[in-house]
Structure 1
Amino acid sequence: MDEVNLKIKERKMRTRPLIEMGGLVAKANLDHLSANTLFGAIVSLKETLTQHPNVQDHWTTIGKDIFDKEQQNKAAVILKFASEPDENTKRHIRLHGLKWNSFRQEWCGMLRTLRP
């Protein structure tokens, strides 16, 4: 692998976890806060963790419980169309988290189940 491709791969490996962390901020409904506020909160978290190392177990339990509950309320979905949908429809499908599977020619993903 040449040096340019290696640097691209390294950048992608670093970027993915950063994007995931940003997703967690959004999932916690904190994405409306300023960068200074978020950074201050994260520094405060670090200080709390330093002073009380056992709090990490508590935080882990809270996060796991929330993720588990979300998974319980989701169902696998596959969408197929007789003809290719317009761009607006595709955008709407993507907004709901479905991904295009070019091999199977279908949209798939996990969606929250609807309660009657």
Structure 2
Amino acid sequence: MIRGVSGSNRITLGADKAYDTKDFVEALRALNVTPHVAQNTTRRRSAIDRRTVRHPGYTVSQRRRKLIEESFGWGKTIGRLRKVHFRGLDLVGDIVRWTAAAYNLIRIRNLRAAT
């Protein structure tokens, strides 16, 4: 999919720490893509080196990634999307849309309360 992105400017790609492998990171760099992959340092060395981590953009990318992961976690626990009890693409699509809308409303409420 990344090959389909047009342009000659360097772009970034964020991914889970499961993609923190030497082959994946090297393939991205060969495509002129900066890997903003979460570092996996559990019992091994990360393939993401200091030249990527030292930039402020990497930190911003990881914070944004956390926000996205929180929405999926909320959908699985509160929105009951972990095991959908309905069948059919239309019905499941509706449930996902309603869950996302509810999450957005709660997030807006919390953001307003914080300001």
TM normalised by structure 1 equals: 0.31
Structure exhibiting the larger radius of gyration computed from Cα positions: 1
TM normalised by structure 2 equals: 0.31
The structure in which a higher percent of residues are strand is 1
Tell me which of the two structures has the higher relative contact order, counting C-alpha pairs closer than 8 angstroms and 6 or more residues apart: 1
